[in-house]
Amino acid sequence: MQFEERALSFDCGGDCLFGVASVPAQPAARGVVVVVGGPQYRGGSHRQFTLLARHLAAQGIAVLRFDYRGMGDAEGEQRDFEMVHEDLRCAIDRFQAAVPAVREVVLWGLCDGASAALFYAPQDARVQGVVLLNPWVRTEGGLAKATLKHYYRERLLQPALWKKIFTGQFNYGAALRSFTGLLGAASGKAAPPAAAAEAAPTAAPSVSAAPVPRLADPDLPPLPGRLHDSLAAFQGKVLLILSGADLTAQEFRAAVAASRPWQRLLAAPRVTQQELAQADHTFSRRAWRDQVADWTGEWMRSW
């Protein structure tokens, strides 16, 4: 299907925001708003969001990708993923005004963009679905456990490590300090060392300290618990896509494995789950990116 791309601007709290709408000749009633992760702009890593929007628009699905306040071309102060509710509401307003055929929306987000989408979704009746890729549920203990379980195991299989060992370039002291620090953080006895953050594929975004009421499972850490409660409050459709080669995805899996309420939520018929075993955090290869776009389009047409 033929489509056009329109530059949009709109006000949000007195600041001017900018976005691009990919609009098919005959838009479906259900459109997509891409919720970017931060710090990032509307194009996405390796043009991921741009290519996703065009892929879906060619299938008749209108898509808006835009910059939050303080990001990309947008005015205003930079804010974290828990502080973009007003930005999302204004973006949906502008999207529907520009494409009147769109009567309901799906929020599509990667990493903390997925978490931002899930926090916002229960508040807006226009949001009927969410696509969550490698949702951000980072805690100090969760990062340490994921690093110990996945990063070190993969590191042992890397030829570069053994080359360092055999040539005497391996720093045993630093490695031991990193490992013991991670063990302490995983057991809740200490904060993870800088090496843990360096092992992760994405930098940790700042997290708002604003209290949010908890609905269930008080034993969960704050961020995973609050995301659980947002998903419980949201009654729309969910597409969850996880990478196999990504620490953020592994942290999410671990949080779910440790929580029966999370497991019950994801087992509901309204939740569709997909996994790309070899994919990295941002689905950087064309085959991975295209598979994600295909899954998104098929899922949106299925309900």
Looking at the predicted structure, is the pLDDT value of residue 189 above 90?
Answer: no
- How far, in Å, are 34, 180, 209, 214, 221 from residue 218 at the CA level? 31, 29, 17, 7, 8
- Lowest mean pLDDT, pick from 126-140, 179-193, 283-297: 179-193
pLDDT of residue 35: 97
SS3 state of residue 231:
helix
Number of other residues whose CB lies within 10 A of the CB of residue 277: 8
H helical segments located in the chain: 48-57, 85-98, 112-120, 140-146, 152-155, 159-166, 172-186, 194-199, 222-233, 247-257, 260-266, 286-301
pLDDT of residue 228: 95
Measured CA to CA, the distance from residue 108 to residue 181 in angstroms comes to 36
CB 220 within 8 A of CB 230: no
pLDDT of residue 208: 31
* pLDDT tens, residue by residue, 78-127: 988 999 999 999 999 999 999 999 999 999 999 999 999 999 999 999 99
- Compute the radius of gyration of the chain from its Cα atoms: 20
pLDDT of residue 159: 76
Give me the phi and psi of 297, to 5 degrees please.
Answer: -65, -45
